[in-house]
Structure 1
Amino acid sequence: MHKPLLTTDFLDRARRHYGDREAVVATTEERYTYDELGERVDRLSAALQERGIGKGDRVAVLDPNTHYHLEAAYAIMQLGAIHTPLNYRLVPDDFEYVLNDAGVTAVIADHEHAGKIEPIRDSVPTELYVSNDAGATEGDWEDFETLIDRNGEYDRPEMSEDEVITINYTSGTTGDPKGVCRTHRGETIHAYLVSVHQEVRDDDVYLWTLPMFHVNGWGHIYAVTGMGAKHVCTRGIDAEWILETVREEGVSYLCAAPTVLNMLIERYEETGEDTRGTNPVRAATAGAAPPEATIRTIEDEFGWHLKHVYGATETGPLITTSDAGRLLPEGTERFSIKKRQGLGYLGTDVRVVDEDGADVPRDEGTIGEIVVRGNQVMDGYWEKPEATEEAFSERIEGYYHTGDLAVVDEHGMVSIQDRKKDIIISGGENISSIELEDTLFEHPEVADAAVIPAPSEKWGETPKAFVVPANGDPENPGTSAEAIAEFTRERLAGYKAVHEVEFVEELPTTATGKIQKFELRQKEWDEEDRMVGEG
């Protein structure tokens, strides 16, 4: 028997079985049951449908981790429209590109971030603008609560599991951002895998420290909802508030980039406060792997169970986990294994292959590229068939090529050593070194530049620029490191800015003039346990 896998099934299930149970702890202090959450979603679906939003239309959501984002996502999907979450850390030019590229019909935005949309309204195809607080939003925005002050009757269209239901834009690590198209089926199967490997249960209390715009919160908008668990929403990251909420709400599960873990550790070391409430706590982390010391503190002192996972926007995202109890040695030796990206998720074919597409030996020494095939992997890039073809065929046909270079141990556990593409992962955000270099070249005092990830205790890694000054004198470059960093900060989203600048006489190059970034990375990471991507 075949039953279509639809993302709408998750909220439907929660309403059917957990209608009178608390679903959401809102940032506005309200608490909603699944019946109440579902009613608000229906009313938004009805309002959007009345405004002409229908199947296949793209609707963007620009919002931190509030109940408004959850409601908007499900209301959009109930119409068969395409949920298009936006990274609220971007700048107006970025939003202009995405809204045009996706042909977005409507934007639902948080009042603190809507101001970034206002300057570009005349240059995008968007017709409907909704704010969760229109009174606090500059410009002509409709108010969310006013919009849903109506009955919740709407017509849900027939939907196929192979239809695109969400577009998640990459951070533009190799040029303009690309829209990653994900189908009902892909999202559903990924959510099933998350439920298994992250052990999501109906009595979980999930704290939203992971941005919902990150591949739909790693699929947790589906998994947590479908299991009937509780969402605790947030507007931002604050270590004091997180630990307080863990205690007061009995949080049992959260996701935290290594930088967030470090913030929590700093707070704990200052106060010695309790790190648990009424429930045991497990935490998932990804991005640049946390150092062993971080894992040790989280597990041995916080008393939390840490799960290190790995993936990319294009892969669902999650495809591997190092949470493999039977393969972990006893005692502190387990921390070196938990740093690794780990084993493939159920039903996921994760391989490390050489230039010819052959699997590298399991010797923990031979480096190859991670490629993956699985039901949670993207359908393709939005209206970019050539980029889609390249992503799935470079070394081995039919596998998504991650661009991450890794080794494999005897059990098939992968461990990233370096990156094929020049990606910097800082605090869980992807940053393009190419974009930064292009910006640096606009500075009149810069003759040449190379940007690499440098180790950072706080962020895992941050952008560092090696700059050849226009006057050729690194001792007296005609500008300052601070001025160079500020130059990038003024032109890019804040998290993309250069954090460190080193003036040099020349950059290492090959015989053909290609900059050898590997030498620069090796220099920066010489005293670290691992090269880029491994903390």
Structure 2
Amino acid sequence: MEKPLLTPDFLNRARKYYGEKEAVVATTGERYTYADLGDRADRFSAVLQNRGVEKGDRVAVLDPNTHYHLEAAYGSMQIGAIHTPLNYRLVPDDFEYILNDAGVDVIYADYAYTEAVEAVRDSVPTHTFITNDADTVEGDWEEFDSLLDETDPEYERPAMSEDEIITINYTSGTTGDPKGVCRTHRTETLHAYLISVHQNIADDDVYLWTLPMFHVNGWGHIYAITGMGAKHVCTRGVDAEGIFDAVINEGVSYMCGAPTVLTMLTEYYDEYDPQTTAGREVRIATAGSSPPEATIKTVEEQFDWYLKHVYGATETGPLITTSDFSRFFDGDSDDRFSIKKRQGLGFLGTDVRVVDEDGNDVARDDGTIGEIVVRGNQVMDKYWNNPEATEKSFTDRVEGYYHTGDLAVVDENGMISIQDRKKDIVISGGENISSIELEDTLFDHPAVANAAVIASPSEKWGETPKAFIVPASGDPNNPEMTTDEITKFTNEQLASYKTIHRIEFVEELPETATGKLQKNELREQEWEDDDQMIGQG
């Protein structure tokens, strides 16, 4: 027997079995049951259909981690509209590009972010603009709650296939313009099943939204937490005091956090010694670059939380590996910290390999470096309107595998550990930043003759952009600009998290005989005191 895998089924199950159970704790203090959440999603579905939205149309959501995001996402998917979450850290030019590229018909934006959309309103195809506090924003925006109050929860659900696109998640534009990662009902569903298993999600879990919902649909937790009937605790941002308070006051049992968040929590703990548990186990998942062993040790031994290290990319679901395999370490031994730093083994049903330039698997010697490639049911369908990029990402070294661009080694147990990156990106505090974009921005400054941007190690962010600048004056000792001026210049041109704070003026940049920039020399110089050229923290 075959039953189609459809994303609205997660909310359907929760309503059926957990209708009277608390589903969402809102940032404003309201509490909603799964019956309430379902009713509000139904009303939003009807609102969209009343405005002409049909199956396959794109509905963008620009929101911090509030209940509105959940309602707008499910309200869109229930009518077959494609949920298109947006990174709220972006700037108006970014929103203009994405809204045009995806052909977005409707946008729901939190009141704190409408200004950035309003700035490009006349140059995008979007025709319906909805917010959660229309009275406080500029421009013609409709009020989310008022629309729900005046709309009956009846809508027409179209026939849907599991192979149809249901979400588009945009990358950070690390190699040019952002790319729309297309995910189907099937890929979203199977990924949610996988994290439910590997993250041990249960119906009595209380999940704290420290991970952005826009980031690959919150690693699939908008589906898994809902489908399991667990509870969502929403946030409008991440702060250490709020996290510890939620653990105590809401009984939070599970959350996610980039290594940056772990560092923030440990620093707060060292200064204020807060209560960290309230009588139940707390699990926290971190992803990507490994946190330092000292941080893992603090989280597990001082907080008494259980840390899971996972890995993936927007294109891969995102999650494809974890180091949380307890048969490989003694739970009471310090050996577990070095193992938990690794990206680990593949998820169920996921074929993760590390291959050389000829597509052959590297030796399990923990020294030979290759590229991580992956094949699995959670991997993306394609890039939106970009067949060339789609083909390249699946055919570079091994046909039929997605190529991550991450370079890793493999130990005798098959556990991978990332050492470096092929892609020209900086991952700072969990955000992908294109060094090419930063260099293009620097070239616009009249006092800059040449520039190269690389990742520089950072205790706080794991890594941070650093610019090596050849001044137009030709004299690095008299560059006719200050580092503060360059920092301010990049801050004015780019999203705040892309701002360059580390700058070094140089006489020339390393190049090959043919004039090709050799960033590897700059990176080796910058990371000479570290074991690997990738951020930890």
Same fold by TM (over 0.5)?
yes
How far off is 1:474 after superposition?
1.2
Match of 2:170 in 1: 169
Contact 1:521 1:532 in 2 (8 A): no
Counterpart code for 2:351? D
Distance 1:337 1:480 in 2: 44
How far off is 1:502 after superposition?
0.7
Contact 1:168 1:180 in 2 (8 A): yes
Contact 1:258 1:286 in 2 (8 A): yes
Contact 1:416 1:533 in 2 (8 A): no
Distance 1:197 1:321 in 2: 8
Match of 2:297 in 1: 296
Contact 1:47 1:148 in 2 (8 A): yes
The 5 A counterparts of 1:447-462 are 447-462=449-464
Distance 1:497 1:166 in 2: 29
Counterpart code for 1:163? E
Q: 1:421 aligns with which of 419, 423, 435?
A: 423
Deviations 1:90-120 (Å, cap 9, x if unpaired)?
0000000000000000000100011100011
Counterpart code for 1:47? V
Counterpart code for 2:348? L
How far off is 1:528 after superposition?
2.3
How far off is 1:505 after superposition?
1.4
The 5 A counterparts of 1:113-512 are 113-149=113-149, 150-329=151-330, 331-512=333-514
Contact 1:84 1:167 in 2 (8 A): yes
Distance 2:324 2:515 in 1: 43
Out of 525-534 and 366-375, give the one that drifted further.
525-534
Match of 1:54 in 2: 54
Describe the SS at the equivalent of 1:126.
Answer: coil
Deviations 1:171-228 (Å, cap 9, x if unpaired)?
0000000000000000000000010001100000000000000000000000000000
Match of 1:23 in 2: 23
Contact 1:431 1:496 in 2 (8 A): yes
Describe the SS at the equivalent of 2:395.
Answer: coil
Distance 1:11 1:197 in 2: 21
Match of 1:88 in 2: 88
TM-score by length of 2: 0.98
How far off is 1:511 after superposition?
2.4
Describe the SS at the equivalent of 1:167.
Answer: strand
Q: Which runs of 4+ in 1 moved over 4 A?
A: none
Distance 1:237 1:97 in 2: 27
Contact 2:43 2:152 in 1 (8 A): yes
Out of 152-161 and 525-534, give the one that drifted further.
525-534
Structure 2: 5+ residue stretches without partners = none
Give the RMSD, CA atoms, in angstroms. Answer: 1.0
Structure 1: 5+ residue stretches without partners = none
Distance 1:414 1:515 in 2: 30
Distance 1:143 1:277 in 2: 38
How far off is 1:534 after superposition?
4.6
Deviations 1:439-461 (Å, cap 9, x if unpaired)?
11111111111111111111111
Distance 2:274 2:182 in 1: 43
How far off is 1:332 after superposition?
1.6
Describe the SS at the equivalent of 2:362.
Answer: coil
Deviations 1:245-280 (Å, cap 9, x if unpaired)?
111001000000111111111111111111112321
Deviations 1:58-105 (Å, cap 9, x if unpaired)?
000000000000000000000000000000000000000000000000
TM-score by length of 1: 0.99
Distance 1:398 1:534 in 2: 31
How far off is 1:287 after superposition?
2.9
Give the percent of matched residue pairs that are identical in Structure 1 and Structure 2: 72
Contact 1:288 1:461 in 2 (8 A): no
How far off is 1:510 after superposition?
2.1
Match of 1:102 in 2: 102
Contact 2:288 2:343 in 1 (8 A): no
Counterpart code for 1:228? G
How far off is 1:533 after superposition?
4.1
Distance 1:201 1:314 in 2: 26
